[in-house]
Amino acid sequence: MSTTLYASNLPLTATEETLASKFAKFGCVLSVRIEHDASGTKGRSAFVEMQTAAEAKRAIQGLNLASFDGRLVSVYAAVNAVLK
């Protein structure tokens, strides 16, 4: 069963491709979606869907509070998140 993660405090340079690459080091990435504000401007958070809960756990352990272009990124399970 897939698990969705929430990544926040991302640098504005982050793209869905760069995030997929970072998360892929821990398992199979099914999807990445960077959030945008009402004006369409890219935000600093994203949802990342990992194929299994074990892969998601490894991604959290490996990426939470890791530096990404000078920012400390937070990564955790997206429990009760409203997905668009």
57 in any annotated domain: yes
84 in any annotated domain: no
**Cα distance between residue 82 and residue 20, in whole Å:** 21
Give which of 68, 74, 24, 73 is closest to 50, Cα–Cα.
Answer: 24
By the 8 A CB rule, do 50 and 5 touch?
A: yes
83 in any annotated domain: no
45 in any annotated domain: yes
By the 8 A CB rule, do 78 and 47 touch?
A: yes
pLDDT at 84: 44
What's the average model confidence in pLDDT over 68-81?
A: 87
Statement: residue 11 has pLDDT above 70: yes
What is the domain extent for residue 36?
3-77
18 in any annotated domain: yes
Statement: residue 79 has pLDDT above 80: no
How many domains, the chain? 1
CATH number of domain containing 18:
3.30.70.330
> Is 0.95 topped by the overall pTM?
no
First to last CA, the chain: 19
- Indicate the pLDDT class of residue 25, thresholds 50, 70 and 90: very high
82 in any annotated domain: no
What's the average model confidence in pLDDT over 16-24?
A: 97
